């Protein structure tokens, strides 16, 4: 099953990546597909092979909890796809979209915020995410900015459609304002982008992410999840708790290697040239594909690890 997915992703990437990259993102060609993962819980994803930043599926995955109490959405995709996302939601339910939760600030997760807010959805997110939107990532439409915010305290809890939804804050990991969203009865957790299985880990330092926080977030997820809980990343395939262990081990091993090279006085260029991810390259699909602003996703990851270790020695 997993290898079949990897193969299909590899084929999609091989077939489309060149044209997608040379033409930029062609939103018109992206379709939204819907997977029902529990009686009232659905996951919406964009087409494969059309988004150079996410060859596996365009944009970020959306969660939709639907039922008589209305709709709760998790994340909102690129703004350019909002109409297609809405159409996909309307194929599930005609109920009002009451709540929208953002796992983190990136525009492939928050771009559609304004559209759904104007339809009446109240946006929930971490205070750090809202603050971030006041800075570099300021949205063009103020309606995109979260209305209800929370910090690192107790989870925010929704009771609707027979489900209990917990917004569980995560320490600065992929960004400074990450949340995992647990659906207790469906036994599923949406984990945003602090875990990924397409490309190497992405620690967005410019948006407050950290290596230390990413490791803490993985530990926190292992505590919250049961062995059979489905963990739904923003990109890539749905996993189980056991899949987090080799991922965390890989981050630890690379951290240790980079730390050793820093202790030997190596520069960032030296560390990048040493290809310290090479033991993992064959098992990380998309790991050597280009990543925005930093060579490959392996180069981006190593740069982030180097800068955090060099900066704070954490
Ligand atoms: Zn992201």
Task: Spell out the SS3 assignment of 75-95.
Answer: CCCCHHHHHHHHHHHHHHCCC
> pLDDT, tens digit, for every residue of 244-301?
999 999 999 999 999 999 999 999 999 999 999 999 999 999 899 888 777 899 999 9
Please state the φ and ψ torsions of residue 197, each to the nearest 5 degrees: -120, 20
User: Do 121 and 99 form a contact (C-beta atoms < 8 A)?
Assistant: yes
Distance 78 CA to ligand 1 centre (A): 12
Distance 314 CA to ligand 1 centre (A): 23
Looking at the predicted structure, is the pLDDT value of residue 139 above 80?
Answer: no
Tracing tokens 């009002």 back to the chain, one arrives at 96
Distance 95 CA to ligand 1 centre (A): 28
> Band of the pLDDT at 12, cuts 50, 70, 90?
very low
User: Do 209 and 193 form a contact (C-beta atoms < 8 A)?
Assistant: no
Secondary structure of 16-55 in HEC code, one letter for each residue: HHHHHHHHCCCHHHCCEEEEEEECCEEEEEECCCCCCCCC
> pLDDT, tens digit, for every residue of 184-221?
999 999 999 999 999 999 999 999 999 999 999 999 99
- Beta bridge partners of residue 71, listed in sequence order: 97
Distance 63 CA to ligand 1 centre (A): 15
Distance 262 CA to ligand 1 centre (A): 28
Sign of the dihedral through C-alpha 76, 161, 146, 132: negative
Distance 234 CA to ligand 1 centre (A): 7
Query: Which pTM value belongs to this model?
Result: 0.90
Distance 312 CA to ligand 1 centre (A): 23
């Amino acid at each position: 099953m997993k290898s079949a997915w990897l193969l299909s992703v590899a084929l999609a990437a091989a077939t489309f990546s060149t044209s997608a990259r040379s033409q930029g993102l062609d939103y018109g060609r992206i379709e939204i597909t819907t997977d029902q993962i529990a009686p009232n819980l659905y996951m919406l994803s964009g087409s494969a092979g059309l988004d150079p930043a996410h060859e596996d599926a365009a944009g970020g995955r959306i969660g939709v909890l639907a039922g008589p109490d209305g709709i709760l959405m998790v994340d909102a995709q690129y703004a350019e796809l909002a109409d297609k996302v809405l159409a996909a939601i309307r194929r599930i339910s005609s109920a009002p979209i009451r709540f929208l939760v953002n796992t983190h600030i990136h525009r492939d997760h928050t771009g559609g915020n304004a559209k759904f807010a104007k339809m009446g959805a109240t946006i929930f997110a971490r205070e750090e995410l809202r603050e971030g939107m006041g800075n570099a990532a300021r949205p063009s439409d103020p309606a995109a900015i979260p209305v209800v915010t929370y910090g690192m305290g107790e989870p925010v809890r929704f009771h609707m459609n027979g489900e209990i939804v917990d917004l569980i804050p995560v320490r600065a990991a992929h960004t400074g304002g990450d949340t995992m969203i647990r659906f207790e009865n469906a036994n599923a957790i949406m984990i945003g982008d602090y875990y990924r299985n397409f490309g190497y880990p992405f620690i967005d330092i410019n948006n407050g992410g950290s290596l230390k926080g990413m490791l803490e977030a993985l530990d926190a997820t292992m505590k919250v999840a049961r062995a059979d809980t489905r963990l739904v990343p923003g990109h890539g395939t749905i996993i189980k708790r056991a899949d987090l262990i080799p991922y965390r081990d890989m981050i630890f091993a690379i951290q240790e290697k980079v730390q050793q090279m820093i202790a030997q006085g190596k520069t960032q260029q030296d560390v990048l040239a040493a290809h310290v991810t090479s033991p993992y390259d064959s098992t990380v699909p998309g790991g050597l594909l280009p990543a925005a602003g930093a060579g490959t996703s392996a180069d981006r990851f190593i740069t982030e690890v180097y800068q955090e270790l060099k900066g704070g020695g954490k």
